[in-house]
Amino acid sequence: MMMLSVRPAYAKGILTGSKSVELRRTRPSIKGDQLTVIYASTPVQAVIGACTISCVESGEPQDLKLRYLTEAQISEDEFDRYFEEAEVAWALHLRQSMFFEQPVSLERLRASSVLPVQSWRFLDWRAFAALLTSESDRIKLGNLLASGSG
């Protein structure tokens, strides 16, 4: 399972399904159907849900900008600042999203030695599932995993 750190507005878009592409400057080492928990950065500072990354696509930033600006829910100015001087951009295609009923706070993550990073990191899904205080969230996360996510 992967943890993806995202600004709160983008995290909400991912989990409502309105943001179907996340753009990155670095490629996570995944092949597809990757179970991913979404860490909403400051000021939220909590894992607020999960989704599946169905595939990862690379390209020149301007090519991906033309193809995915709308799906990524990012302005042209934000895109240009983010990819300034980048030679390659990565498009993470997202699906099967869910909000957690009870988000996992930064304090709870730190207490279990699970530290979010600025971009992404891998986690043991069972260890993460143990941090969920809602049985419903554990079941939904398990179902997302069983549906083909790694």
| Residue 68, domain CATH | 2.30.130.30
**Domain residues for 11?**
2-146
**Cα 95 to Cα 22: distance, rounded to the nearest angstrom:** 11
**Cα 103 to Cα 81: distance, rounded to the nearest angstrom:** 30
**Cα 15 to Cα 11: distance, rounded to the nearest angstrom:** 6
Predicted local confidence at residue 150, as pLDDT: 54
* pLDDT averaged per 10 residues, the chain (length 150): 95 96 93 91 97 95 97 96 96 95 96 88 90 94 78
Task: Give phi and psi for 93, each to the nearest 5.
Answer: -90, 125
Predicted local confidence at residue 69, as pLDDT: 96
Predicted local confidence at residue 149, as pLDDT: 52
Give the β-pairing of 34-40 and 2-6. parallel
Predicted local confidence at residue 32, as pLDDT: 75
pTM: 0.93
In the chain, how many domains are there?
1
- Are the beta carbons of 86 and 58 closer than 8 angstroms? no
